[in-house]
Amino acid sequence: MDPDAEIDHEGPVPVFRQLVEILRARIDRGDWQPNRPIPSEAQLVQTYGIARETVRKAIRVLVDDGVVFVVHGRGTFVSHPDIQGEQAD
């Protein structure tokens, strides 16, 4: 997925799925380093012109995949690479 892709509100792919792939691609590209925060929910809302609920839905997927972790009141951070893809069975 192109990390610089824009959200397509018309197509069949849900907006939150698109955001998941965009953020994943940006993390892969190194936009944000491990243990560093990605943009806040409010910033992602602005950047991509989508609703907060949709941003949070995408982040929930990335958390489940171990790509990022969230800290209440602080932000959402890129996980350590050595931990990714090791959970679940």
Binding-site ranges for DNA (CB under 7 A): 9, 14-17, 37, 40-43, 49-54, 56-57, 70-76
Nearer to DNA, 41 or 84 (CB): 41
Amino acid in the structure at residue 79:
S
Tokens of 16: 């939150």
Distance CA(34)–CA(69), nearest Å, equals: 10
Which is nearer to DNA, 22 or 89 (by Cβ)? 22
Radius of gyration over every alpha carbon of the chain, rounded to an integer in angstroms: 13
Quote the least distance from Cβ 13 to DNA, whole Å.
7
- Return the structure tokens found at 47: 């950047």
Nearer Cβ to DNA, position 22 or 50? 50
Smallest separation, CB 4 to DNA (Å)? 19
Length of the chain, please?
89
